[in-house]
């Protein structure tokens, strides 16, 4: 019996009956005609109700068993396997860059024929995925997690921060972290606090298009990230993603000021109200902002995160019970994403007051994203100030949440935690909104 990786239940029985195996070209009859394509393996959590084919166009299509009247094998294929083509050892004297994989699609190795995906693990595989890396740095790859970034938690941040701190001790010239894009901004912010003062560049990088698509941004993002991590003369935590839609320039964003602002564009990431930290082109760094910290700083990291903080977006008619629910779930710090300058309804304000009275820390950010909170303009804002709500200026809501979890990780509570939230620690607030 051929390989039917990942298939189960009725789908497995149907394919077994047809004598099919992964990699075979199948013809499947459906009410809307025959569909021909290569049988693709299914993921671990796939159901037993679908057969997945890779069409000639390169797209995968999932066909429901309900729509399949017949399956036949039109050509036998080989079981897909990937073996890295030999690639030259990198020349001596290149910087050493630790590349930490956490999941998402960026550092995945794709079998183009079947669409099977797995993370690139060895340096050989990583080099064969992006051969240019050999010219840029000696890459030490390490897969720490293999998860979609929506599943990343403060516990992952603690582990990542610890691994980067260890890499500093091991003498790495830079660290690259490959990460799903959805929560890349949160992780970048979190690491900016945990690794404040880090003496080397730490570059987080993702991809909006998976590496099996010709339009993938993965290779260039990765090359830029490794190149900057290995050679830049500045340090700190940054995000490297496409600057524009064309495949030639990569923007370096400051870890606490970056946001994913588009669901699918390659240039989805933007620095909010601050200039870019740097721009990388195929020849190297083309522009570096003034004032970035140099390499080799003193470094006393505080690596732990405690997830007992909540981020709540205010909306018209928001029930106060949602604030109570956050409190009951154990939140010690609540970050509100208020309207405009930082407002919430009377009902929500009342709940925030009792949260603060019980020793909690309530902070205000704005869902406008750009600009700063100002609670002194309207009565509603002044009331919030009086009850002790802390306005966070132009701190991004996601950055504020990551900071709150870091503050709690230091063991600070109540007044001490409030003071840390108000202090600028990792470029998370700016004195004046850019560009003016």
Positions marked active-site? 105, 181-182, 260
Q: Looking at beta carbons only, is 182 or 247 nearer to ligand ASP? A: 182
Q: Looking at beta carbons only, is 132 or 182 nearer to ligand ASP? A: 182
Question: What minimum distance in Å lies between the beta carbon of 60 and ligand ASP?
Answer: 16
Secondary structure letter of residue 67 according to DSSP: G
Spatial neighbors of 214 by CB under 8 A, at least 6 apart, are none
Helices (H), 1-145: 9-18, 123-129, 133-136
Residue 13 exposure: Cα atoms within 13 Å on the Cβ side: 5
Q: How many residues does the chain have?
A: 436
Question: What minimum distance in Å lies between the beta carbon of 206 and ligand ASP?
Answer: 5
Q: Is 180 in the site for ligand ASP (CB under 6 A)?
A: yes
Beta bridge partners of 309: 333
Question: What minimum distance in Å lies between the beta carbon of 326 and ligand ASP?
Answer: 24
Q: Is 105 in the site for ligand ASP (CB under 6 A)?
A: yes
Question: What minimum distance in Å lies between the beta carbon of 161 and ligand ASP?
Answer: 19
Helices (H), 269-428: 321-328, 346-357, 379-387, 397-409, 414-422
Q: Is 149 in the site for ligand ASP (CB under 6 A)?
A: yes
The Cα–Cα gap between 157 and 188 comes to 9
Say if residues 195 and 100 touch (Cβ distance below 8 Å). no
How big is the site for ligand ASP, counted in residues (CB under 6 A)? 10
Q: Is 148 in the site for ligand ASP (CB under 6 A)?
A: yes
Q: Looking at beta carbons only, is 242 or 372 nearer to ligand ASP? A: 242
Q: Is 144 in the site for ligand ASP (CB under 6 A)?
A: no
Q: Is 119 in the site for ligand ASP (CB under 6 A)?
A: no
Q: Is 146 in the site for ligand ASP (CB under 6 A)?
A: no
Question: What minimum distance in Å lies between the beta carbon of 26 and ligand ASP?
Answer: 29
Position among 128, 181, 345, 366 found at the interface with ligand ASP (CB under 6 A): 181
Question: What minimum distance in Å lies between the beta carbon of 224 and ligand ASP?
Answer: 17
DSSP state letters, 266-287: TT-EEE-SS--SEEEETTEEEE
Q: Is 101 in the site for ligand ASP (CB under 6 A)?
A: no
Q: Looking at beta carbons only, is 106 or 139 nearer to ligand ASP? A: 106
The Cα–Cα gap between 152 and 401 comes to 14
Residue 396 exposure: Cα atoms within 13 Å on the Cβ side: 24
Site string (29-58) toward ligand ASP, x via CB under 6 A: ------------------------------
- Token readout for 117 is 């995906």
CA-wise closest residue to 347 among 327, 325, 317, 367? 317
Position among 41, 77, 104, 381 found at the interface with ligand ASP (CB under 6 A): 104
The residues that touch ligand ASP, with contacts defined as CB under 6 A, are 103-105, 148-150, 180-182, 206
């Amino acid at each position: 019996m051929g390989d039917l990786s990942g298939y189960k239940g009725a789908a497995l029985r149907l394919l077994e009956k047809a004598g099919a195996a992964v990699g075979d070209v199948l013809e499947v009859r459906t009410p809307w005609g025959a569909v021909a394509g290569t049988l693709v393996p299914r993921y671990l959590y796939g159901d037993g109700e679908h057969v997945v084919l890779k069409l000639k166009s390169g797209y995968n299509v999932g066909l429901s068993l309900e729509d399949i009247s017949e399956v036949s094998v039109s050509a036998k294929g080989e079981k897909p396997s990937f073996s890295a083509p030999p690639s030259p050892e990198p020349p001596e004297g290149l910087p050493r860059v630790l590349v930490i994989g956490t999941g998402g699609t960026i550092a995945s190795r794709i079998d183009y024929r079947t669409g099977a995906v797995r993370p690139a693990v060895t340096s050989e595989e990583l080099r064969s995925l992006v051969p240019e890396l050999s010219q840029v740095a000696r890459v030490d790859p390490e897969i720490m997690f293999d998860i979609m970034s929506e599943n990343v938690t403060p516990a992952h941040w603690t582990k990542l921060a610890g691994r980067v701190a260890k890499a500093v001790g091991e003498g790495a010239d830079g660290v690259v972290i490959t990460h799903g894009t959805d929560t890349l901004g949160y992780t970048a912010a979190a690491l900016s606090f945990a690794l404040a003062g880090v003496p080397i560049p730490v570059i987080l990088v993702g991809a909006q298009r998976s590496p099996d698509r010709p339009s993938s941004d993965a290779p260039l993002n990765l090359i830029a990230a490794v190149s900057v991590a290995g050679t830049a003369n500045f340090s700190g935590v940054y995000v490297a993603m496409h600057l524009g839609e064309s495949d030639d320039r990569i923007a370096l964003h400051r870890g606490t000021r970056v946001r994913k602002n588009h669901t699918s564009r390659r240039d989805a990431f933007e620095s909010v109200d601050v200039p870019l930290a740097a721009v990388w082109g195929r020849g190297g760094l083309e522009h570096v902002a003034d004032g970035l910290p140099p390499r080799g700083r003193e470094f006393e990291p505080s690596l732990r995160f405690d997830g007992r903080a909540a981020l709540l977006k205010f909306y018209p008619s928001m029930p106060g019970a949602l604030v109570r629910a956050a409190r009951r779930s154990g939140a010690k710090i609540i970050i509100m994403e208020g309207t405009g300058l930082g407002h919430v309804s009377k009902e929500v304000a009342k709940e925030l007051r009792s949260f603060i009275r019980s020793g909690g820390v309530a902070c205000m950010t704005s869902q406008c994203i750009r600009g700063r909170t100002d609670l002194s303009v309207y009565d509603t804002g002044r009331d919030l100030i009086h009850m002790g709500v802390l306005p966070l200026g132009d701190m991004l809501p996601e950055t504020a949440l990551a900071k709150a979890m870091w503050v709690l990780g230091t063991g600070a509570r109540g007044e001490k935690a409030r003071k840390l939230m108000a202090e600028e620690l990792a470029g998370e607030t700016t004195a004046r909104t850019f560009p003016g």
